[in-house]
Amino acid sequence: MDHLFSQGKNLAMRDYYRSLLIAAPTSSTKATVSRTGGMAEGTVSGAITERSSEEAVRIDERMYSSDRLTVSNIYPNPAHDVAEIDYVMNSNVGSASITLLGILGAPIAEYTLDRNDRKVRLQTRDLPTGYYFYQLSVEGVKVATKKLLVKHQ
């Protein structure tokens, strides 16, 4: 009998995630389209602007982006000795920080983003091999969380 309930639960979860993936884009949603080797970005209304593949890659490498703060994904990932995050912060951002978390969510280290710098360096040399999370907080609000693999050879 439990098998029947869990099967129904899985179907509901599958349908939910399928609806997110297949949902029709709204007029404010951007769609990336490949045409003759290039990248194009267009809205549903049909306006299309050309974009180089290099710009599209840079957009995909962002962890978080707003008009006040832009933060890149961590690199290199997997990391060995050190990992870095690039960022650009406007003067009207109160505070921003990156927190390195263990796989269970326990904080390991916290790095404050300074307006005068453009890069944060996370020391991974002393961390055991494994998965970690890094989390961006802006003015005390958690806005993005990503994975980091630390791999020592």
**What are the extents of the domains in the chain?**
2-57, 62-150
Q: With respect to CATH, is domain 62-150 assigned 2.60.40.1930? A: yes
Task: Tell me the C-alpha distance between 82 and 145, whole Å.
Answer: 19
Nearest to 141 by CA among 102, 95, 72: 95
Q: How would you write the pLDDT of the chain (153 residues) with one tens digit per residue?
A: 444 454 555 666 666 666 666 654 444 434 333 333 443 433 333 333 344 433 433 556 788 888 888 899 999 999 999 999 999 988 788 889 999 999 999 999 999 998 888 999 999 999 999 999 999 999 889 999 999 999 987
Burial of residue 124 (CB within 10 Å: 0-12, 13-18, 19+) is: buried
Q: How is 76-128 classified by DSSP, letter by letter?
A: SSSBSSEEEEEEEE-TT---EEEEEE-TTS-EEEEEEPPTT-SEEEEE-TTSP
C-beta of residue 85 within 8 angstroms of C-beta of residue 122: yes
Nearest to 136 by CA among 109, 97, 93: 97
